[in-house]
Amino acid sequence: MAHEITERTDGTAEAAFALTPAWHGLGTVLDHPMTSAEAMTAAHLDWLVCQEPIFHQTDQGYTEIPNMMANIRSDNGLALGVVSDRYKVIQNVEGFNFLDTLIENHEMTYESAFSLRGGRQVVLLARLPQEDEIVPEDKLQRYVILSLNHDGTGAVNFGPVSTRVVCSNTYAMAEREGSMRGLSIRHQGSIDDKLTEARRILGLIQDEFNGYAAEAELLARTPFDRLTFLEYLDILCPYLDERDPDYTPRRQSNIEDTRWKIRLAYENERQQTAPRTAWAAFNAVTEHIDHLPRRGATRAQRAETRFNVCLAGPGRDMKRRAFEAAKRFIHPLLAK
Encode pLDDT of 273-312 as tens digits. 678 899 889 888 887 776 655 444 555 444 444 444 433 4
CA–CA distance, 63 with 248 (Å, rounded to integer): 71
- SS3 for 255? helix
User: Which pLDDT band, with edges at 50, 70 and 90, does 132 fall under?
Assistant: confident
Phi, psi of 29 (to 5 degrees): -115, 120
Q: How confident is the model at residue 189 (pLDDT cuts 50, 70, 90)?
A: low
Q: Rounded mean pLDDT of 165-180? A: 48
Query: Which residues does 210 contact at the CB level (< 8 Å), separation at least 6?
Result: none
Q: How far is CA 292 from CA 38, 102, 247, 268, 289, in A?
A: 35, 39, 23, 16, 6
Across the range 159-170, mean pLDDT stands at: 57
SS3 6: coil
> Where along the chain do its domains lie?
15-211, 222-335
Calculate Rg over the CA atoms of the chain. 24
Q: Is residue 271 pLDDT above 60, yes or no?
A: no
Specify the higher pLDDT residue, 45 or 21. Answer: 45
Q: Report the predicted TM-score, pTM, of the whole model to 2 decimal places.
A: 0.65
Bridge partners, residue 138, by sequence = 135
Asked whether 144 and 130 are in contact (CB, 8 A), the reply is no
Strand order across the beta sheet in which 79-84 lies: 49-58, 61-73, 79-84
Phi, psi of 16 (to 5 degrees): -145, 145
SS3 151: coil
Q: Which of 296, 311, 11 is closest to 164 using CA atoms? A: 311
Residues recorded for the chain? 336
Amino acid 102 reads L
User: What do you get for the CA distance between the two ends of the chain, in Å?
Assistant: 49
96-115 pLDDT, tens digit per residue, is 888 888 766 666 789 899 99
